[in-house]
Amino acid sequence: MTRKQWGIVLFLAYAVSFLFSHGPGILPFNKADLVLGFPVLYLWAVGWYAVQLAIVVAAYRLVWKEEEE
């Protein structure tokens, strides 16, 4: 894939992860349930932040690198 194609794919992936971490995707998990002592909402948000971090790292390595001569 070209850098431009990677950029489009990573942008779309980041947009989806942003919606799930901040937008309507978070509503089904807005409960008082606990998993391993942590609120489900907290785990949901931290999980999507990890996905966003992975997307940014992938963009750094695949899209934002300098041109090779």
What are the pLDDT digits (tens) for 13-38?
A: 999 999 888 777 777 777 677 777 77
Confidence check: pLDDT of 69 > 60: no
Quick check: 39 and 33 in contact, CB under 8 A? yes
Confidence check: pLDDT of 68 > 70: no
Name the domain count of the chain: 1
Provide the residue range defining the domain that includes 29: 3-62
Please give the Cα distance from 14 to 26 (Å, whole number). 15
In a domain, 69, yes or no: no
In a domain, 67, yes or no: no
**55 in helix, strand or coil?**
helix
Distance in Å from the first CA to the final CA of the chain: 18
Mean pLDDT score of the chain: 85
Helix (H) or strand (E) holding 10: helix 3-22
Tell me what the mean pLDDT of segment 45-58 comes to: 94
In a domain, 50, yes or no: yes
Tell me what the mean pLDDT of segment 44-62 comes to: 93
Please give the Cα distance from 29 to 39 (Å, whole number). 9
What pLDDT was estimated at residue 13?
96
